[in-house]
């Protein structure tokens, strides 16, 4: 174990936390040395997750910057929004590298954060240093950074579908419509009424229509890629399955002469150095199940020549590429390790 990088996870009792534990237990270069939490503090981790008997011998501890600093070189913060922004500045000051899975460091412009999340912030200087943790778009910046604002789950699926179109100016401004569906683990390991089996099972509904917090996040990155201000229409839906996101994106092509095969070639070229993005051949559309338990994103592309629209379907596992495994992908980059290190490649299927 000697030379392994020591890692702490704050928010270890949650769904993001337990994915990180699973991934990091199998990662060849790290050792988990600290698990932190609030309500679960004081409890042996295997009491919370008995399936980890014999694999984890740690007790969840109350959050203390000093203890974390003494124990861990790298810290994952997998906490509700509004907590990481209080911890990260202190952890960075103590020399830790920080990967935040919440929304706190996804925005460099804290005015937008406050407008959508309602919390005034006092850490503008720290937020300025954060890099948006979508490796396929910001790989080089992630390599140089000590603070990563890991993307939301819907933004990950949506942005991977939209990025080539935005970067290369292939669609009419502000025509992108994102129709996205998520499994219930997207809501975290909490007792929320809409996540109860009796509410969610055998049912399908949109929520937070025209006001979901992931809208400004998607727009900020699209604007960065397009070099001009971009608006998108984003509608999320809750689907009765434990994990997975399918985002179907519609947009009007600037050049109606482009056919499906042209666009597939453009996407393949855009993602040629991205081992986790799979561009599907003509006529093949992705299923969320293909990504289960992996860091993969599957993208299918179609063109409707009658309407002049491109339709891009993007499937990920919300807890993996949408959250924990993407954070580990970022850690790999920050440490100079191969981007695929320690991450499961093939889904458990069916």
**Active-site amino acid positions:** 153
State CA 189 to chain mean position distance: 17
Q: Applying CB under 6 A, which of residues 18, 127, 130, 153 lies at the interface with ligand X2W?
A: 153
Whole-number minimum distance, CB 153 to ligand X2W, in Å? 4
- 344 touches ligand X2W by CB under 6 A: no
Whole-number minimum distance, CB 214 to ligand X2W, in Å? 6
- 38 touches ligand NDP by CB under 6 A: yes
Whole-number minimum distance, CB 261 to ligand NDP, in Å? 34
Structure tokens at 201: 């099972």
What are the backbone angles phi and psi of residue 290, rounded to the nearest 5°? -65, -25
Contact map string, positions 192 to 211, toward ligand X2W, x by CB under 6 A: --------------------
What are the backbone angles phi and psi of residue 36, rounded to the nearest 5°? -125, 155
Buried b (16+ CB within 10 A) or exposed e, 251-277: bbbbeeebebeebbebbbebbeebbbb
- 79 touches ligand NDP by CB under 6 A: yes
Comparison of 184 and 332: residue with beta carbon closer to ligand NDP: 184
Binding partner of residue 173 among ligand X2W, ligand NDP, none, CB under 5 to 8 Å per kind? Answer: none
Comparison of 5 and 320: residue with beta carbon closer to ligand NDP: 320
Angle at CA of residue 346, ends 56 and 45, nearest 5°: 15
Contact region for ligand NDP (CB under 6 A) — 108-116, 188-196, 261-269, 276-284?
A: 188-196
Sign of the Cα pseudo-torsion (168, 314, 344, 95, in order): positive
State CA 287 to chain mean position distance: 18
Comparison of 9 and 264: residue with beta carbon closer to ligand X2W: 9
- Start-to-end Cα distance in the chain: 35
Question: Do you find a cis peptide bond into 350, omega within 30 degrees of 0?
Answer: yes
Write the Ramachandran bin of 272: left for phi over 0, alpha for psi from -120 to 50, otherwise beta.
Answer: alpha
Whole-number minimum distance, CB 81 to ligand X2W, in Å? 5
- 241 touches ligand NDP by CB under 6 A: no
Question: Is 73 in contact with 47 (CB distance < 8 Å)?
Answer: no
Binding partner of residue 65 among ligand NDP, ligand X2W, none, CB under 5 to 8 Å per kind? Answer: none
Binding partner of residue 238 among ligand X2W, ligand NDP, none, CB under 5 to 8 Å per kind? Answer: ligand X2W
Binding site for ligand X2W (CB under 6 A): 81, 102-103, 152-153, 182, 186-187, 213-214, 236, 238
């Amino acid at each position: 174990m000697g030379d392994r990088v020591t890692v702490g996870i704050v928010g270890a009792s949650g769904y993001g936390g337990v994915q990180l534990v699973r991934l990091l237990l199998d990662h060849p270069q790290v050792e988990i040395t600290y698990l932190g939490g609030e309500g679960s503090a004081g409890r042996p981790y295997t009491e919370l997750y008995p399936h980890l008997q014999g694999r984890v011998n740690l007790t969840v501890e109350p959050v203390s910057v000093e203890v974390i600093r003494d124990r861990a070189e790298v810290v994952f913060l997998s906490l509700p929004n509004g907590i990481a922004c209080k911890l990260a500045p202190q952890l960075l000051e103590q020399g830790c590298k920080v990967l935040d899975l919440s929304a706190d460091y996804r925005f460099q412009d804290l005015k937008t954060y406050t407008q959508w999340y309602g919390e005034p912030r006092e850490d503008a200087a720290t937020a300025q240093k954060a890099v948006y943790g979508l490796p396929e778009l910001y790989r080089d910046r992630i390599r140089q950074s000590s603070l990563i604002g890991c993307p939301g789950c819907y933004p990950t699926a949506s942005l991977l579908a939209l990025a080539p179109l935005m970067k290369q100016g292939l669609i009419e401004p502000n025509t992108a419509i994102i129709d996205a569906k998520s499994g219930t683990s997207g809501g975290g390991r909490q007792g929320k009424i809409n996540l109860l089996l009796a509410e969610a099972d055998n049912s399908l509904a949109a929520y937070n229509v025209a006001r979901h917090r992931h809208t400004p996040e998607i727009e900020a990155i699209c604007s960065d890629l397009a070099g001009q201000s971009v608006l998108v229409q984003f509608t999320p839906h809750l689907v009765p399955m434990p994990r997975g996101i399918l985002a179907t994106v519609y947009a009007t092509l600037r050049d109606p002469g482009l056919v499906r095969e042209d666009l597939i070639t453009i996407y393949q070229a855009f993602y040629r150095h991205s081992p986790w993005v799979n561009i599907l051949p003509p006529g093949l559309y992705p299923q969320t199940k293909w990504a289960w338990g992996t860091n993969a994103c599957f993208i299918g592309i179609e063109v409707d020549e009658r309407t002049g629209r491109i339709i891009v379907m993007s499937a990920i596992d919300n807890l993996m590429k949408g959250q924990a495994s993407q954070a580990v992908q970022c850690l790999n980059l920050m440490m100079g390790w191969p981007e695929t290190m320690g991450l499961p490649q093939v889904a458990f299927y069916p």
